[in-house]
Amino acid sequence: MRQIEIFDTTLRDGEQAPGAALTAAAKLEVARALAELGVDVIEAGFPAASDGEAAAVRKIAQDVTGVTMAALARANDADVDAAAKALAPAQRKRIHVFIGTSDIHLERKLRITPHECLLRVERAVRRAMEHADEIEFSAEDATRTDIHFLGTVYQVAAAAGARIMNVPDTVGYAQPDEFARTVLAIRGALTAYNGGIRVSVHCHNDLGLAVANTLAAIEVGASQAHVTMNGIGERGGNASLEETVMALRCRADWYGADTRVHTERIVPTSRLVSERTGIPVQPNKAVVGANAFAHASGIHQDGVIKDPRTYEIMTPQSVGWEARRIVVSKLSGRAGLAARLAELGVPLHGEELDNAYRLAMRRADEVHELDERDLITIAAEARRKAVLAPATLPAAS
Ligand code: KIV
Ligand code: ZN
């Protein structure tokens, strides 16, 4: 089975989500949780951004062990030096150098020529090589860059010493097949390195395709995926860790690939990131949303009670939930209600259950979802009614 490296950028691109800024203590706490989760690389931050950010990255580099620690740097001396300094205490250090390469980035943002861009790539990667165990290079806005120029950019980065070539779909513009072709073209431009280069991808979610694009790239040989917990990140966010990892795990038959992530740590880590960033997880979010293992319709409830595999492709426990959730609402059937009551320690059968079902449906017309209090009250009432009017008694003549 192919191992895909998980490069977690929750603490860098994730933190670029509006409103997500973390304190240094929170960053450290999240970094520890990511290391426990089993990611391969943690991008701890962008040290050139501020002294506080540099100090936070340094603290993480010092305290969090067992993973490769990465820091982001633009392709200039000052950024590379800031990243090197912040990463200095890390067990294994990776400087992630990037520069915009599309016409729009070169002409409108950086105001440099393609040739100047290549010179900057070469200089920055060479400088970074002096300070880190490995260099990852990203051509920002790769998916809107002329494909021939893009190949040249990666060749220059490789000649200067970078061995991990990250392909960012910075603005979430690529379509899966198209992105796969871009990745193949870059691999093609680097064949001289005889497999000595690892290709990585970094996908944004502006069109909701970040995970699909990441998986499409993995299918054509990318061996590292940039992800964030809960998919947080700039604008529409990044490819989410939980979806990417679980797609590979659940469909190992398709991808023939897996990661080292301890998937049962996913939900606790998701909660921590949500709490510390203040960004809630939408209820219908795959894997980590509150509804990911909730069943509301009677038909589905009946199915999962008989065999969970009827409507679940992974177990809740495999990703860190305690249990699936049977939601009692107007859509529920008797089987769902019975299961929920049993869970609450008030199992009902026969007439008691019939009574409870009638009462529950009446209550369900008033509320969206019956809560524990509703259900326990209903169970008590259903039992009382059954005692007062036992169906087994012969009718009075
Ligand atoms: O989206 C992007 O291009 C980035 C790079 C810095 C990799 O975040
Ligand atoms: Zn990004």
pLDDT for 388? 82
199, 201, 204: which to mutate for ligand 1, most atoms within 8 A of CB? 204
In terms of C-beta density within 10 A (0-12 exposed, 13-18 middle, 19 or more buried), how is residue 183 classed? buried
Residues contacting residue 12 through CB under 8 Å, at least 6 positions apart? 43, 44, 45, 46, 72
Ligand found nearest the CA of 70: 1
Total residues found in the chain within this entry:
397
**CATH fold of 2-277, please?**
TIM Barrel (3.20.20)
Distance 294 CA to ligand 2 centre (A): 32
Distance 158 CA to ligand 2 centre (A): 21
Residue nearest atom 5 in ligand 1 by C-alpha distance: 140
Q: Distance between CA 288 and CA 13 in Å, rounded?
A: 20
10, 72, 169: which to mutate for ligand 1, most atoms within 8 A of CB? 72
Q: Distance between CA 347 and CA 278 in Å, rounded?
A: 39
pLDDT for 56? 98
Global pTM? 0.95
Q: Distance between CA 245 and CA 38 in Å, rounded?
A: 11
Token output for 311:
């409507």
pLDDT for 194? 87
Q: Distance between CA 134 and CA 272 in Å, rounded?
A: 30
Q: Distance between CA 285 and CA 282 in Å, rounded?
A: 5
Pairing of β 198-203 and β 92-100: unpaired
Residue ranges of the chain with pLDDT lower than 50?
A: 393, 395-397
pLDDT for 397? 37
Distance 390 CA to ligand 1 centre (A): 69
Residues contacting residue 342 through CB under 8 Å, at least 6 positions apart? none
Domain ranges, ordered by start, for the chain: 2-277, 294-390
pLDDT for 390? 60
Residues contacting residue 394 through CB under 8 Å, at least 6 positions apart? none
> What is the Cα 141 distance to its own chain's centre?
21
Q: Which residue's structure tokens are 């008590």?
A: 380
| Rounded (10°) angle between helices 350-364 and 372-388 | 130
Q: pLDDT of 87-137, one tens digit each?
A: 999 999 999 999 999 999 999 999 999 999 999 999 999 999 999 999 999
